[in-house]
Structure 1
Amino acid sequence: QDLQGAVARVEQARAVARIGKADLLPTLELNPSYDHFQRSSSSFGGSGTFTGDIFAVPLDLSYEVDLWGKIRRSFESASAEAQASLSAYHTVLLTLTADVARVYFALRTLDVETDILRQTIALRQEAFELVQRRLEGGVVSQLDLARAKTELASAEAELTDVQRRRAELENALAVLCGQTASEFHFEAKPVTLTPPRLPRGLTSRVLERRPDVAQAERQVAAANARIGVAQAAYFPVVRLTGSGGFQSAKFDSLFETDSRVWSLGPSISLPIFAGGRNAAQVRAVKAEYAATVAAYRQQVLQAFQEVEDALANLRWRAEQAQIHVRIVESAREAASISRVRYEQGLVNYLEVVDAERSRLEAERGAKQILNQQLASTILFIKALGGGWD
């Protein structure tokens, strides 16, 4: 809905710009008329009254000569506003795209977590049953059974929480896609995603593609053009008006050669006194221009900050990912060693189950870090305005 609203605002701004462009051209109107009148003869030195008819089919022309650039500057302002509205639309589109990607990757990460938690529950169920058998054999105490039961219930609770969060993300994705949550379903699919490789040596010119920066720059251009419009109010307005057509007292002879009429001439409107309105208007638009320049500079500074923040985030996430890679490798090695030791009869099966549980927890933590990496990558791409190509 936000995107549709942005599209409507673009169309509105473009229509306003077309109106401004039309002001550069003359207007031509056909105004047919009929008058039945009664007039006093005393106006002509006589007495009494007389009646008559007038049929007219004139073609009226009006054109404002843009000597001082008021109309051109007004059109420039409207065009810049239309371009700013288009950039605002791209800002909404970029934000929507980033949100969809972020929610999608988070949802897929939860699918992977769900798969890992189900494996964890299976292992803890197996451990619980093993402890229960050992309790019956008098090898362990009731405390060991309670601990095994607690770990199993804890894993089941975590799975329920992950499923709840996935449902919320699926509903959010439905809204972002413009659909009702009840009619939207995204099939669970555990997939392993890899963050894209980022280019090196990006220059500040990449920020020029950011739609919010482009929007602020176009608003500066629009405000600058409005200064010219306000200053033109000090100068006279010159118009050319003309009319040509047919006029007759009888309809039968309306379109005869002798019924042709025409007129053509200029008119000048010179401002003499406006109570300080024009000067105040110029000061107002100049202040508006200064405000848009400040807003543009602030937008550029914010863009640089967002890029630097995103880069810093990516660096830290990459380091965390490397640490978790080592954690997963160590956990897998420990699980492998425990299985070998169990097969050799050196340890009991509980040690194997515990090692497998640690491995699954390490893999789950690595997937969570991967999701954070993907989210940081999305923020970085968004900060660049949608990419770097």
Structure 2
Amino acid sequence: MTPFRPSRLALAALPLLLAACAVQRPPAQAPAPTPAGWHAPVPHQGSVADLARWWEQHADPLLGELVRDAQALSPTVAQAGAQLAQARAQQVAARAALLPALDAQANASRGFNEQVGGIATVAQAGLQAGWEIDLFGRNAAVEDAARERLAGARAQWHEARVSVAAEVALQYSGWHHCMRQLAVAQADARSRGETARLAQESERAGFTAPATAALATASHADALGRAAQQRLQCEIDVKTLVALTGRTEPALRAQLAAAPPLRPQDALFAIGSLPAQTLAQRPDVYAAEREVAAASAEVGDAQAQRLPRVTLSGSIGRGLVRSGGVEVTSNTWSIGPVAVTLPLFDGGRRAAQVDAARARYDSAVQRYHAQVRQAVGEVEQALVRLDSTAGRSADARRAADGYRRSFEATQARWTAGMASLVELEDARRTQLASETALVALEQERMAAWIALYRAAGGGWSEAAPTP
């Protein structure tokens, strides 16, 4: 009869023990349902430019230069770059934990030595190695989390650059349209001024009542006030561009004055007709997805901390003893010990860490789903605005042309004495409103294109270069 041996039983049960201790992570992917297609029309008419560099397709190179300057100075981009560098360093540290550690040691002393019975010089030098055997994947989980967060930090750096580009393009477009509104206001003020002059001359000749001349003078003053207010807005736009780009104001004013007019286009770039294709270009969605994977790895790390840890150490060295002109050297080396650390009681601390890691994972999944919903909503809203402005543009141009012709005809009748000043001012007011609305509609359309550029991720891809 074979005697009972506990050591053999323990070895036989070891695979079952390791299987029972295996770390079970939650899924690293959290699928978020996306619609099968956009509910708003996708603008693909006409020639389209690359989404990532759509501003370079314009005949105006100044916009691209302003975008690059703003990205270089943006504190948001700088902060994202610092977070990227931090994530890269954390990944290097996490990867190093999977490798053995090697330290050099050296010491020397002189004094009475009992072994030689006299004064002696003793020196030692050696290498000490240590390695934690990642039996349950704890260090690998930490490295996985660091790698995923590094990928997310890269995407967030690109997102910061896209945001700055959109902000500069919006301000630049706003300045161009502000100047067009100023030109409309100034032309209206000149027209009213000429009317006021003629009315005053007619009053002095006795052909026009004082109340009529006063109405013309008040109308001219009102137009001058509107033009001054519009000029103030344009000045604010210039100073905002100065703050964004860091350029000197005199130089920027000269460059803006030499820039060609910014005309609206039917199509600036194309986006994917399928929502999944477009959302794949959103760096914030990608970063949220990477955070889910990182949180999943951290659950594995927290679970592995409840399991045994195995470390192996070793050393190699050389010693020297010198006394009375006699020198003795020796070599030493050792492998081990193999240390096993088994958590027994911690008051529930490690179990609580697992629960906290799972809660962080659930939170990351919810944030990812919310980010996807927000991305879909932003793209849909930008598409709806584009479609609306496209449908209103033709009507707005026809209205502006019609009201302009109506005002010119009324002005001719007033000059000939066949229309009252009240009729003239009413036609002028309608014409001014239609021209102002036309410029505002073109600005709204350009803003919708810029919003779509930002909502579609700015043409970012996972393979995009980073600093």
Question: TM-score, normalising length from structure 2?
Answer: 0.73
Please name the residue that 1:174 is paired with: 242
Structure with the higher helix share, 1 or 2: 1
Alignment of 1:223-238 (within 5 A): 223-238=295-310
1:154-193 Cα deviation digits (max 9, x unpaired): 1111111111111212222222224576885463467242
- What displacement does 1:12 show? 0.9
The alignment status of 1:57 with 2:125, answered yes or no, reads: yes
* Matches of 2:118 and 2:353, distance apart in 1: 53
Indicate which of 298, 302, 307 corresponds to 2:379.
Answer: 307
* Matches of 1:139 and 1:340, distance apart in 2: 17
Please name the residue that 2:256 is paired with: 187
Gaps of at least 5 residues in structure 1 are 42-48
| 1:196–1:218 CA distance, 2 compared to 1 (3 A) | farther
Alignment of 1:8-23 (within 5 A): 8-23=82-97
| 1:191–1:355 CA distance, 2 compared to 1 (3 A) | farther
* Matches of 1:310 and 1:175, distance apart in 2: 27
Q: Which has the higher contact order (CA 8 A, sep 6+)?
A: 2
* Matches of 1:211 and 1:253, distance apart in 2: 71
1:80-119 Cα deviation digits (max 9, x unpaired): 1122222222222221111111111111001111222222
1:170-226 Cα deviation digits (max 9, x unpaired): 222222224576885463467242144265872111112111111111111110000
Secondary structure, aligned partner of 2:127? strand
The alignment status of 1:142 with 2:210, answered yes or no, reads: yes
Gaps of at least 5 residues in structure 2 are 1-74, 462-467
Indicate which of 150, 160, 184 corresponds to 1:116.
Answer: 184
Please name the residue that 2:443 is paired with: 371
* Matches of 1:16 and 1:253, distance apart in 2: 51
| 1:192–1:30 CA distance, 2 compared to 1 (3 A) | closer
Write the letter of the residue equivalent to 2:401: E
* Matches of 1:127 and 1:192, distance apart in 2: 32
| 1:317–1:282 CA distance, 2 compared to 1 (3 A) | same
Alignment of 1:260-275 (within 5 A): 260-265=331-336, 266-275=338-347
Indicate which of 102, 112, 137 corresponds to 1:28.
Answer: 102
When the two chains are superposed, the root-mean-square deviation of aligned CA atoms in Å is: 3.0
Please name the residue that 1:67 is paired with: 135
The alignment status of 1:221 with 2:293, answered yes or no, reads: yes
Of the structure 1 ranges 355-364 and 79-88, higher mean CA displacement relative to structure 2 is found in 355-364
Please name the residue that 2:70 is paired with: none
* Matches of 1:370 and 1:336, distance apart in 2: 24
Secondary structure, aligned partner of 1:272? coil
Please name the residue that 2:360 is paired with: 288
Please name the residue that 1:7 is paired with: 81
| 1:111–1:25 CA distance, 2 compared to 1 (3 A) | same
- What displacement does 1:305 show? 1.4
Secondary structure, aligned partner of 1:246? strand
Secondary structure, aligned partner of 1:274? coil
- What displacement does 1:291 show? 0.6
Please name the residue that 1:333 is paired with: 405
- What displacement does 1:336 show? 5.7
Write the letter of the residue equivalent to 1:222: A
Please name the residue that 1:45 is paired with: none
Contact 2:281–2:460, Cα closer than 8 Å, also in 1: no
Contact 1:55–1:249, Cα closer than 8 Å, also in 2: yes
* Matches of 1:253 and 1:386, distance apart in 2: 77
1:334-388 Cα deviation digits (max 9, x unpaired): 3565588789x68579788976775454223211111111112211221111259
Question: TM-score, normalising length from structure 1?
Answer: 0.87
Aligned length, in residue pairs: 379
* Matches of 2:250 and 2:326, distance apart in 1: 74
Indicate which of 323, 327, 330 corresponds to 1:259.
Answer: 330
